[in-house]
Amino acid sequence: MKLISVCLGMLAMATVARAQTAPAAADSLFIVTYSLGDAWDQSKGPGEQPYFKEHGARLGQLRKDGVIKFGARYSDKGMIVIAAPTFVKAKEIVTADVAVQNKLFVADVQKLNIFYDGCLERSRN
């Protein structure tokens, strides 16, 4: 009886140790740079472009879902940082955008390797 108790105890400890050492799959960060695609009509404003409203709604949903971590515009480009488990999944997220599919935007996805931790906040001035 003592042997059975010892064996059960060891089995329980092994199960707990295994659960503690198995790392959870963490999402990686990817930077997506958007530039104007062939379908962008230079004679129209952003709100007049086809698929622009849908693009904005998609980005809004990704932000609400916690996929988009940060976004900004610079020069004639836009960029977002997204979380995804793999590069393939990050590409799937980006290419599901109807504005990318229809060449309103060209999206370049790259793995983001952070070497300085920090926090970005929008200036409220």
49-59, pLDDT tens digit by residue? 999 999 999 99
Q: Indicate the length of the chain as a whole number.
A: 125
pLDDT tens digits for 77-119? Answer: 999 999 999 999 999 999 999 999 999 999 999 999 988 888 8
Total Cβ atoms within 10 A of residue 94: 21
CATH classification at residue 94: 3.30.70.1060
Q: Which residue in this structure is represented by tokens 């472009």?
A: 49
Closest CA to 31 of 88, 74, 69: 69
Residue 19 lies in a domain: no
Can you give the pTM of this predicted structure? 0.76
Residue 14 lies in a domain: no
Contact 76, 68 (CB under 8 A): no
Amino acid at 110: Q
Tell me how many domains the chain contains: 1
